[in-house]
Structure 1
Amino acid sequence: MNDWESYLGSFDGEPGYLDWASFGPLSPNVRAEVHADAELLGSGRRSSIELVGEHVRESRELLARVLRTDAEQVVLQPSTTYGLMQAVYGLAGGLIVSRGEFPSLTVAATRAADALGSIEVQWIEPDGGFVTPDAVREALTDDTRAVAVSLVDFRTGYRADLTALREVIGDRLLIVDAIQGFGVIEADWEAADVVCGNGYKWLRAGRGTGFASFSERAMERIAPVLSGFAGVEGDLPLDAVPQPAPTAEAFRVAGEDALAFARLATSLRDILDVGVSTIESELVARSGDVMYFADRYEIPVVTPREPERRAGIVALAPAPQDAAPLAASLANHGLTVTVRSGLLRVAPHVGTGADTMRLFGDALAAFSSARVW
């Protein structure tokens, strides 16, 4: 069995799960690592504690490989939101954010503006919620210092073009919430100045596995406002307050949960073994399968059709009177999806098998046959 077959075989859950954009059930390797490390930490031996603690360093190095950067530019965080807050609170000047972004961005931007007064939130409302290069270009002003965007939009599944956004904004900072695409699609990470993510969705590593990377430009322009005692270089002196570290470590608050990052390191090794580009190819195909069934039963899709503009999320937009019956049909057929604001978010993974897709097709067929035109 090759690495790819092993990776596909690791999706061992029951058929019907189409909600990977909400939570990724832990992989077998991650579950095994949790049990092994818990036993080590239960021993009380310093060598065992230090062995588990090595996963913190390993996670940073593996993240740097995926992000194509240096480990010193990566910092571990409890969640995506922590990383975004570190970036946003340290800004000065205008920050472009779509009102339709996930609240991790909109709330952080609003709170930072209200509390510090150092940033001005420049809200945009692009067509369809798609933060396109043209939408950003139209919103730029002389006061704009940064743009914050999701790599993959949580509502619509739209995949941002980081390369084009970089060309549009020039020397301004580009802050990316990457949670809905990191590790499963290739992206131009070098175009971004700050990349924040978490391993509890597509990486199947569980919560508490967040991270952020900061480019040299970001570290020059973003003040480590929320830097804690762990955000210093070297040993912490007890009778003085040192300056923040000159690396991304400045954006740490406290020590990391080694068990959480043992999970993250395990999941990162798994995806690096098979390659992100291989995962992306299969994931885009799976989202295409969802679109095929939606088209077959005439259910509108708002997610872009172009493979390069989507990842694993497909958003269905039934007529208002059809949303509840469609959601009920999916649930009655044993399918798990997210229903929010009239949209049904269907999110397969590469290990989503033919049995799940058959259930999905059956659920849509049942809904269609009972639909009143």
Structure 2
Amino acid sequence: MKNLRKPFPVLQQNLYFNTAASGLLPEKVFDFRQEHDLDFLVMASILKEKQGKMLTAVREAVGDFFNCAPNRVALVPNYSFGFNTLLEGIDKSKMVLLLEGDYPSINWAVTSRDFPVQFAAIDENIEKNIEEAFQKQQPDLFAFSLVQYISGIKLSVKFLKDLKQKYPDTLFVADGTQYCGTEIFDFDASGLDVVIASGYKWLNAGYGNAFMLFNNEAAHKIAPKTSGFNSLQGKYKAHEGNFIGKFEPGHQDTLNFGSLRVALNFLKEVGMELVEERVKNFSALAKKEFEKLNLLEKMVAEREEHSSIFNIKGDDKMFQYLRSKDVVCSQRGTGIRLSFHYFNTEEEMEILFKILRDYLKK
């Protein structure tokens, strides 16, 4: 247990239940970042000469971690950059299906353009709502979060794969930012067309890095207009007009993308089987206790499978009380969001539950 927590010094000072807002930086990533900038300080352009090999290694690390060929991996600075670039490659006459109240970087990016849009509701019957929306009018593009950032409601990869098989012509574009790093994910087996994820949450990779995973068919449905000198630089971007190169037009940040590679390698050392087991156990434990305390909304309480993100009923007074007890969490929507990762412990969670019980007795 100590080994899982030792790389994260902040855990010695707080009950950190806020990975859904910002993941912790492991010491190995911190060490890499210091060494990288020291190299830049003393080497300048000599370090840049190694940029191509470094970014190739990052692309290959991402592809290996999520089972996606490296020539179908694009490295982008954040989710929004990647998704907006993708949308500019979609004909504006295409119908888009969104989820009501999904992450603003998804819904705003679509609604700020001229796409015809339909919505499906996020509630305990979210899968049924999505299926009914497809039956009403099959969308050309379905853009959604795998895990909802406010409620923590999680769409199963199996449901999405089955839906994709029924509607193979629809482009499925998933935001994996609140999902990737919580369980083993096989992209090529998922049936999804595109997954985009920032690395600063559950992957613990720090800010300024994200990635896009594409299946073999995506390039035939997306025609990005973005281009730049870097669009044809590197092992996997050897020719002009290369698809992933259109998502990487300018200079790439070797500090931040290098951090992503170190973070992925660190998670492999921990073991994603262990990460998945612990995250699922914490999810079940939290759901059971929060239900006892009547802190969950109906749409979460009635679902069998849930992520490790929970939005409990609570006002600003409760939030300030939690913070006074060194509980790091966030206010989201109308409640208080708590999120649990593999480095948390059952002992920490029991302390949280006692704090909540004491507060509710007042």
TM range (shorter): 0.7 to 0.9
> 1:253 corresponds to which residue?
249
Kindly state the Cα deviation for residue 136 of structure 1 after the two structures are TM-superposed: 1.9
3-state SS of the aligned residue for 2:327?
coil
For each residue in 1:261-314, what CA deviation from the matched residue of structure 2 results, as whole angstroms up to 9, or x when unmatched?
11111000011223323211101112233234323433225536767x323212
Q: After TM superposition, list the pairs within 5 Å mapping 1:354-373 onto structure 2.
A: 354-370=346-362
- Distance in 2 between the 1:344 and 1:271 partners? 28
> 1:274 corresponds to which residue?
270
Q: After TM superposition, list the pairs within 5 Å mapping 1:167-206 onto structure 2.
A: 167-169=162-164, 170-171=167-168, 172-190=170-188, 191-206=191-206
Please report the TM-score for the alignment, with normalisation by the length of structure 1: 0.85
Segment drifting more, 92-101 vs 322-331: 322-331
Change (3 A) 1:306 1:185: farther
Change (3 A) 1:182 1:234: closer
Change (3 A) 1:304 1:267: farther
| Alpha carbons 1:96, 1:147 under 8 Å: kept | yes
- Distance in 1 between the 2:183 and 2:301 partners? 16
For each residue in 1:21-79, what CA deviation from the matched residue of structure 2 results, as whole angstroms up to 9, or x when unmatched?
00012111010001111111111255444446643222111111122110010000010
Q: After TM superposition, list the pairs within 5 Å mapping 1:1-373 onto structure 2.
A: 6-13=3-10, 14-44=13-43, 46-51=45-50, 54-92=53-91, 93-113=94-114, 119-128=115-124, 131-132=126-127, 134-140=128-134, 144-169=139-164, 170-171=167-168, 172-190=170-188, 191-232=191-232, 243-245=240-242, 247-301=243-297, 302-303=299-300, 309-316=305-312, 318=313, 322-370=314-362
**Which stretches in structure 1 are left out of the alignment for 5+ residues?**
114-118, 236-241
For each residue in 1:319-347, what CA deviation from the matched residue of structure 2 results, as whole angstroms up to 9, or x when unmatched?
xxx52332232122111111122121101
**Which stretches in structure 2 are left out of the alignment for 5+ residues?**
none
Number of equivalences: 348
| Alpha carbons 1:96, 1:148 under 8 Å: kept | yes
- Distance in 2 between the 1:65 and 1:291 partners? 33
Kindly state the Cα deviation for residue 143 of structure 1 after the two structures are TM-superposed: 5.6
| Alpha carbons 1:15, 1:356 under 8 Å: kept | no
| Alpha carbons 1:231, 1:251 under 8 Å: kept | yes
- Distance in 1 between the 2:296 and 2:46 partners? 57
- Distance in 1 between the 2:252 and 2:246 partners? 14
Please report the TM-score for the alignment, with normalisation by the length of structure 2: 0.88
Change (3 A) 1:355 1:161: closer
Segment drifting more, 167-176 vs 4-13: 4-13
3-state SS of the aligned residue for 2:282?
helix
Change (3 A) 1:57 1:7: farther
Kindly report the root-mean-square deviation, in angstroms, between the aligned alpha carbons of the 2 structures.
Answer: 2.4
Change (3 A) 1:43 1:234: closer
Segment drifting more, 173-182 vs 63-72: 63-72
> 1:239 corresponds to which residue?
none
AA of the residue aligned to 2:150: R
Kindly state the Cα deviation for residue 354 of structure 1 after the two structures are TM-superposed: 4.5
| Alpha carbons 1:55, 1:265 under 8 Å: kept | no
Segment drifting more, 24-33 vs 281-290: 281-290
- Distance in 2 between the 1:173 and 1:187 partners? 19
Kindly state the Cα deviation for residue 251 of structure 1 after the two structures are TM-superposed: 1.9
3-state SS of the aligned residue for 1:303?
helix
Kindly state the Cα deviation for residue 202 of structure 1 after the two structures are TM-superposed: 1.1
- Distance in 1 between the 2:113 and 2:49 partners? 37
| Alpha carbons 2:208, 2:256 under 8 Å: kept | yes
Kindly state the Cα deviation for residue 97 of structure 1 after the two structures are TM-superposed: 0.6
